[in-house]
Structure 1
Amino acid sequence: MGIPTAKDIGALIRGARCARRLTQAQVGAACGYSASAVSRIESGRLHLDYARLMQFAAFLGITPDRLASAPVPTGASVATVKDQADEEDAVRRRELLTGALAAGATTALGTSTASAASAPVDPAAGLEEVLFRLPSAAPVPLALLTQETARARATFRATQYTMLGRLLPGLLAAASATRDAATGHEREKANVALARGYVLTAELALKQHDDAAWVAADRALAAARASGHPVPIGESSRVLAITMRRSGRCPAAVRFLTDEARDLDAREAQTGAVRTTLMLTAAYTAANGGDRTAAMALLDAADEEIDRWRAATPSGLFTVDATRAHADVYRIGVHNALGTPDEGVAIAAGLDIDRMPTAERRARAWTDTARMWHALGEDRKTFSALRSIEQEAPQEVRRPALRALTSDLLFSSARVQGVREFAARTGALST
Structure 2
Amino acid sequence: MTELEGMTLGARIKELRQRRGMSQKELAAEVGRSESWMSQVERDVQPVERLSVLQALADALGVSVQDLRPEARTAATGEPEPVAARNDLDGLRMTLTGHPALTSLFEARRTEAAFEIDALTEAVDHAWTLAHASRFKELTEALNDLLPRLEAASREAPADQRPHIHQLRARTYQAVAAAFARQGEADAAWVAADRALTAAEQSGHPLDVIAGHFRMAHAFMGLLHNEQAERVAQAAIDVLRPRIEREDSAPEELSLFGAMHLVLAVIAAREGSRATARARIEEARKIADRIGTDRNDFNTEFGPTNVRLHAVSVAVDLGDAGEALDLAKEVDPSGLSPERQARFLLDVARAHAQRRHVGEATAALLRAEQLAPEMIHGHPRSRQTLRDLIQLAGRRAPEELTALARRAAALP
Note whether the superposition's TM-score is higher than 0.5. yes
CA distance in 1, matches of 2:89, 2:312: 28
SS where residue 336 of structure 2 aligns?
Answer: coil
Aligned residue type for 1:394: P
Equivalent residue, structure 2, for 1:124: 89
Distance 1:311-1:403 versus aligned 2 partners, 3 A rule:
closer
**Superposed displacement of residue 364, structure 1:** 1.1
Contact 1:269–1:312 (8 Å) recurs in 2 = no
Q: Is the 8 A contact 1:370 1:386 kept in 2?
A: yes
Structure 2: distance between partners of 1:374 and 1:427: 19
Q: Are the counterparts in 2 of residues 202 and 213 from structure 1 also a CA contact under 8 Å? A: yes
SS in 1 for 2:90: coil
For structure 1, which runs of at least 5 residues remain unmatched after alignment?
1-117
User: Residues of 2 paired with 1:164 and 1:412: CA distance?
Assistant: 35
The corresponding residue for 2:315 is: 335
Instruction: Check the 8 A contact 1:134/1:173 in 2, yes or no.
Output: yes
1:349-368 correspondence runs (5 A): 349-353=329-333, 355-368=334-347
Do 1:179 and 1:190's aligned partners in 2 also have CA atoms closer than 8 Å?
Answer: yes
- Residue 287 of structure 2 is aligned with which of 288, 302, 305? 305
SS of the residue 1:329 aligns to: helix
Q: Deviations over 1:135-156 (max 9, x none)?
A: 7698732211111101111111
**Greater helix content:** 2
Aligned-pair identity (%): 26
Matches of 1:404 and 1:288, distance apart in 2: 16
1:230-379 matched pairs, under 5 angstroms: 230-264=206-240, 265-266=243-244, 267-311=249-293, 313-317=295-299, 320-353=300-333, 355-379=334-358
Residue of structure 2 equivalent to 1:93: none
Q: Which residue pairs with 1:53 in the alignment?
A: none
Indicate conservation of the 8 Å contact 1:271/1:314, yes or no: no
CA contact (8 A) 1:328 1:351 kept: yes
Partner Cα distance (1:409, 1:233) in 2: 40
C-alpha separation in 2, matches of 1:176 and 1:142: 13
* Deviation, structure 1 residue 120: 5.9
Matched to 1:390, the amino acid is E
Q: How many angstroms apart in 2 are the aligned matches of 1:334 and 1:196?
A: 28
Instruction: State the match for 1:225 in structure 2.
Output: 201
2:188 equivalent in structure 1: 212
2:344 and 2:338 map into 1 onto residues whose CA distance is 10
The AA in structure 1 aligned to 2:274 is: R
* Pair 134,221 (structure 1): closer, same or farther in 2 beyond 3 Å: closer
Name the aligned partner's letter for residue 271 of structure 1.
E
Q: Mark the CA change 1:185 to 1:277 in structure 2 (over 3 Å): closer, same or farther.
A: farther
Shift in Å, 1:312? 6.7
Given that residues 294 and 305 in structure 2 are in contact (C-alpha distance below 8 angstroms), is that contact kept between their aligned partners in structure 1? Answer: no
Secondary structure in 2 matching 1:388: helix
Write the distance in 2 (CA, Å) between the matches of 1:362 and 1:314. Answer: 14
* Alpha-carbon contact 1:286-1:294 (below 8 Å) kept: yes
174-183 or 421-430, larger mean C-alpha shift: 421-430
Measure, in 1, the Cα distance between the counterparts of 2:293 and 2:384.
38
1:232-275 Cα shifts (integer Å, max 9, x gaps): 22321111011212223213322321220232332212211121
The alpha carbon displacement at 1:365 in A equals 0.9
**Superimposed CA distance per residue, residues 118-169 of structure 1 (whole angstroms, 9 cap, x where no aligned partner):** 9566122143432215476987322111111011111112221111012212
Structure 1 counterpart of 2:388: 408
1:420 partner amino acid: T
1:5-404 equivalence runs, <5 A: 119=84, 122-131=87-96, 132-134=98-100, 140-182=115-157, 185-210=160-185, 211-264=187-240, 265-266=243-244, 267-311=249-293, 313-317=295-299, 320-353=300-333, 355-401=334-380, 402-404=382-384
Query: In structure 2, what is the equivalent of residue 425 of structure 1?
Result: 407
Matches of 1:394 and 1:286 in 2, distance apart?
29
Q: Distance in 2 between matches of 1:378 and 1:143?
A: 50
- For residues 188 and 256 of structure 2, what CA distance do their matches in structure 1 show? 24
Deviates more, 1:409-418 or 1:145-154: 409-418
1:302 alignment partner AA: A
Give the whole-Å Cα distance in 1 for the aligned partners of 2:401 and 2:295. 39
Query: Aligned partners of 2:193 and 2:324: how far apart in 1?
Result: 31
Structural RMSD (CA): 2.3
User: SS of 1:383's equivalent?
Assistant: helix
Question: How much has 1:408 moved relative to structure 2?
Answer: 2.2
CA 1:427 to 1:252, structure 2 compared with 1: closer, same or farther past 3 Å?
closer
2:324 aligns to what SS in structure 1? helix
Counterpart for residue 105 of structure 1: none
- With over 3 angstroms needed to count, the CA separation of the structure-2 counterparts of 1:255 and 1:207, relative to structure 1, is same
Q: TM-score by structure 2 length?
A: 0.70
Q: Tell me how far apart the structure 2 counterparts of residues 133 and 251 of structure 1 sit (CA, whole Å).
A: 29
CA distance in 2, matches of 1:421, 1:126: 27
> Higher relative contact order by CA 8 Å / sep ≥ 6: 1 or 2?
2
Query: Which amino acid letter does the alignment assign opposite residue 162 of structure 2?
Result: R
Change (3 A) 1:314 1:184: farther
Q: How far 1:304 sits from its partner (Å)?
A: 0.7
Q: 1:188 to 1:374 in 2, by over 3 A?
A: same
For the 8 Å contact 2:258–2:302, the answer to whether it is kept is: yes
TM-score (norm 1): 0.67
